[in-house]
Structure 1
């Protein structure tokens, strides 16, 4: 009985991830260029703490997203937009930011080209 229960839980988690990827894909396709750029750069801006990146305050603030490993696309955006070269291997374990969630109308039936988006950033204390 337990095996069947866990099978359905695992199956539903996979379905949820597929649905979430579809929602992200659809919302990105509705965004204008600037909005799309911000949406894609946001994880990188929260992951690295570098004086050349907008939003830098000091070395004493929490930065780094747990289990986020930027690929070449993210790193090239960082280089292209901020002229910062960071090695792919640069990451640390147990990063304080545990999740970034988009809220509001994004990827819902209410989203349109004039929509904004709200985010929640969860971090360890």
Structure 2
């Protein structure tokens, strides 16, 4: 028999409780860990290494790790501490690998998420891995291009393990302004389905490293006043702004996005009919 889990109430009118905020975050992290474990277990032993090593290869710009390009490629994930399993995976790839203390260096990357099939019932060993890699808003263009090239090189490496990997590089502020670099190519519908894609992200995403989504802390009934709630949490220091990443709310989804999504899934259904039916 499954025990009933009571909802956690956060009342922005009566007063915000830091203890309740921590409980909200911890509950999401618990669900997140269960999703990660399920996605991990659906992969073969060799494929599991790809998922385990992903945050580390962007947290460090290490020449012994997959995807390395050059010494000045941006690196560092906010508040990231690799697990023993990740360190072991790195050492299986490079016996000489050792984790060095980077000191107080400001990280170039805010967060990393896995989204889409791995967080749903549609996940299988044949599913691809779609990763959102979010960089600082003030990162120079040259650094962004370098991250994109590193992501492409990493995708080729993952392919050798039987994993179809797509890493989308952008920053949260560009996403909120509708300027995301994610385009309508290959596996992604990009800005043509901004709110549907964000809705899918919030429903299916698996936090891999870095800042947590601010959306986790905003009650569903406050979606219409999301920005006011978010500012209250940050301005009155109920949360540290650097601990959270903000992609914005999904107050409503425009009708035209549903039409576009339907056409997109009909097109996708040529190669993956059952997956498209599930999404539709």
Q: Do they superpose with TM above 0.5?
A: yes
In the TM superposition, 1:85-104 aligns within 5 A as 85-87=97-99, 89-93=100-104, 94-104=106-116
- CA distance 1:115–1:68, change in 2 (3 Å): same
The 3-state SS of whatever aligns with 1:43 is helix
- Alpha-carbon RMSD: 2.0
Query: What's the counterpart of residue 57 of structure 1?
Result: 69
Matched, 1:121 2:133: yes
Tell me the CA shift for residue 29 of structure 1: 1.3
> Unpaired runs of 5+ in structure 1?
none
Question: 1-side partners of 2:96 and 2:83: how far apart?
Answer: 15
Q: TM-score, normalised by structure 1?
A: 0.84
Query: What's the counterpart of residue 148 of structure 2?
Result: none
Query: What's the counterpart of residue 40 of structure 1?
Result: 52
- CA distance 1:10–1:47, change in 2 (3 Å): closer
Question: 2-side partners of 1:7 and 1:85: how far apart?
Answer: 39
The 3-state SS of whatever aligns with 1:106 is helix
Question: 2-side partners of 1:32 and 1:48: how far apart?
Answer: 25
Q: Give CA deviations for 1:68-114 in whole Å, capped at 9, x if unaligned.
A: 12244322322221223314x52343211111100110121111121
Structure with higher RCO (Cα < 8 A, 6+ apart): 1
Query: What's the counterpart of residue 26 of structure 2?
Result: 14
* Native 8 Å contact 2:65 2:93 kept in 1: no
- The count of aligned residue pairs is 123
Q: TM-score, normalised by structure 2?
A: 0.40
Which structure has the bigger radius of gyration?
Answer: 2
- CA distance 1:71–1:106, change in 2 (3 Å): closer
Question: 1-side partners of 2:65 and 2:109: how far apart?
Answer: 17
Question: 2-side partners of 1:7 and 1:71: how far apart?
Answer: 26
Query: What's the counterpart of residue 66 of structure 1?
Result: 78
Q: Give CA deviations for 1:17-46 in whole Å, capped at 9, x if unaligned.
A: 111111111111111122211000111211
Point out 4+ residue stretches in structure 1 off by more than 4 angstroms.
none
> Unpaired runs of 5+ in structure 2?
1-13, 140-280
The 3-state SS of whatever aligns with 1:99 is strand
